[in-house]
Chains A and B, each alone.
Chain A
């Protein structure tokens, strides 16, 4: 059976990448929350996911915690969002 990757690492540009493609609710939200906790204020996280409903919750989570949603890309059901931690 084909599977999904979870990837969380620091990129060359200093930002972090969290790849949770293949996971649904609430895994995507939980991993995103955990990753954001790991970052220092002002650092950026790119979250890549393909469960549309998780996006609504991540967006709301950013609003609640004051994080900035810098960029949203949607390509064929795969979403790449860039978040700056408050």
Chain B
């Protein structure tokens, strides 16, 4: 085989680049106009849909920022291990610091809607599976959304795999029941549950009722029983749980990775303290897009909690399910008349609802489990407020990618399609066991004073490390058989 051979052949002819660039801003304008028209249609149907539209438009904001900074939490871990690049890790830590500061203010103002996660072995285990999957899939759950907006159809496959694997995970019984420990089954059977739920059938139900429910969780301020004062939230939840660990990690990235480069660039062998601080600042600002996106995402995520909290107070509700019921949309509500409504940036649960809703439409029983039946409900995608946020991310990314001329339809080849599905399934299963993805189980937790997110990150980093090793071995194996002269 010749050196210029191909591993996989065939690619659809792309339109002329100049034409794509000319058309891009028009496509972006059309997308924004469509988003505006859809928003007006919702408001014309009922002004209370403004609550759902807040999710959607924050999603568009997230999408723009994610695409602008090529912001992918998977690459925070992966690029560090794969090619020694700390760019994204820096961006994520900047976002964590800013979001934590804003979140402390929101907690002090009484608008915080965050629920702490129970801490146990499931957190690092879920993180590990998620980390394995995100490297194989080529992106985490949120970056798969923004890359879908760039026209990457492999990322769309990842979204399908995350959605349906979660829906399967929370509802599957049969052979999985044999993996349920006796203690979980006993604990679950002892729960007084509505007859509509088959809580003793299904691994995830028994994991939830038999294992998760007895576990405790809380923010640092809750655990230390500090008073509900602004200084508790600022020094306890923000400074101790989020900001100090982030600064320590940034310092480690600087000392172990970037410092030698900075010394080389400056032509120096040693640095004064001021020089070290200038070097750290240089690391923070080295990738301007990523650092700005991190700062913007941190601000936007905090603002979303504030706006949603204000809207809940305005409507006198705790959950969007109450508004849906008042508007006559009761079909997708859980047995508690609620729907999934975190009030902040979240990704995977609404994707599980997409998969669950689609399976329910196909006639599969999806409401007899705790996840959909009792907790999150199964609203149709157009009544799913966090789901609209995820769609908003796709739209926002598509708007910016079309303006910058980076939008391009990309079909996955067989290799990337298989990796997308395998990675998506691992992320779906991992996010259900770990109670969220890199956003819900890490970003939103540590920034609200719940240290369980750092444990999830540890598991995710280990999974990412192992997956990078696996992927490099796969690439080497492929190359050894390709004849390419690498």
Using CB atoms and an 8 Å cutoff, list the residues of chain A in contact with chain B.
Answer: 1-10, 21-27, 29-31, 33-35, 38, 50-53, 55-57, 59-61, 63-64, 66, 74-78
Query: Is B312 interfacial (CB-CB < 8 Å)?
Result: no
B173 within 8 A of A: no
Q: Are A76 and B87 in contact (CB under 8 A)?
A: no
Q: How far is B135's CA from A60's CA once the two chains are assembled, in angstroms?
A: 19
- A60 in contact with B286 given A30-B83, A74-B405 (CB within 8 Å): yes
**Inside 8 A of B386's CB, which chain A residues have their CB?**
none
Residue of B nearest to A21 (CB): B11
Structural contact, A74 and B406, CB atoms closer than 8 A: yes
B4: Cβ under 8 A from any A Cβ? yes
Number of interface residues of B (CB under 8 A): 71
Chain A residue with the shortest CB-CB distance to B82: A26
A-contact 0/1 string along B299-326, CB 8 Å cutoff: 0000000000000000000000000000
Q: Is the CB of A1 within 8 A of B412?
A: yes
Known: A3-B11, A26-B135. A57 touches B79 (CB 8 A): yes
The answer to whether the Cβ of B48 comes within 8 Å of any Cβ in the partner chain is no
Interface: B179 (CB within 8 A): no
- The reply to whether B486 and A25 contact each other, CB–CB distance below 8 Å, is no
Distance in Å: Cβ of B63 to nearest Cβ of chain A: 14
Q: Is the CB of A64 within 8 A of B14?
A: no
The answer to whether A26 touches B152 (Cβ under 8 A) is: no
One of B75, B261, B412, B472 near A64 (C-beta < 8 A):
B261
- 9 A-B pairs within 8 Å (CB atoms) are namely A3-B411, A6-B482, A22-B410, A22-B412, A25-B139, A52-B67, A53-B70, A57-B75, A57-B88
Write the nearest CB–CB distance from B137 to chain A, whole angstroms: 9
In the complex with contacts A22-B410, A76-B21, A6-B79 CB distance below 8 A: no
Rounded to whole angstroms, the CA-CA distance of A45 and B353 in the bound complex is 46
* Residues 435-486 (chain B) with a chain A CB within 8 angstroms: 468, 471-472, 475, 479, 482, 484-486
Q: Which of B11, B86, B408 contacts A77 (CB 8 A)?
A: B408
Cβ contact within 8 Å between B79 and A77? no
Give me the 8 closest cross-chain CB pairs, A-B, nearest first.
A77-B408, A76-B17, A3-B413, A53-B70, A75-B17, A3-B8, A76-B20, A24-B138
Give the residues in chain B near A8, CB-CB below 8 Å.
3-4, 484-486
Q: Report whether B83 and A57 are in contact in the complex, using a CB–CB cutoff of 8 Å.
A: yes
Interface residues, chain B, with chain A CB atoms under 8 Å away = 3-12, 14-21, 67, 70, 72, 74-75, 78-79, 82-88, 135, 138-139, 143, 147, 150-152, 154-155, 257-258, 261, 264, 286-287, 289-290, 401, 405-408, 410-414, 416-417, 468, 471-472, 475, 479, 482, 484-486
Alpha-carbon distance A61/B258, docked complex (angstroms): 11
Q: A53-B70, A60-B87, A76-B16 are in contact. Are A24 and B11 (CB under 8 A)?
A: no
CA distance A30 to B14 in the complex (A): 25
Q: Quick one: given A22-B416, A23-B416, A27-B475, are A56 and B485 in contact (CB under 8 Å)?
A: no
- Contact call B14/A78, Cβ cutoff below 8 A: yes
Contact of A3 among B10, B72, B261, B407 (CB under 8 A): B10
- Say whether B486 contacts A35, CB under 8 Å: yes
**Cβ contacts under 8 Å, B413 to chain A:** 1-4, 22
B264: A residues at CB distance < 8 A = 66
Q: Are A10 and B151 in contact (CB under 8 A)?
A: no
Would B82 and A2 count as touching, CB distance under 8 A? Answer: no
Q: Are the CB atoms of A33 and B9 closer together than 8 Å?
A: no
Query: Which residues from chain B contact A10 at a C-beta distance below 8 Å?
Result: 3
Known contacts A74-B406, A76-B15, A77-B408; 4 additional CB pairs below 8 A are A9-B3, A24-B152, A55-B70, A75-B405
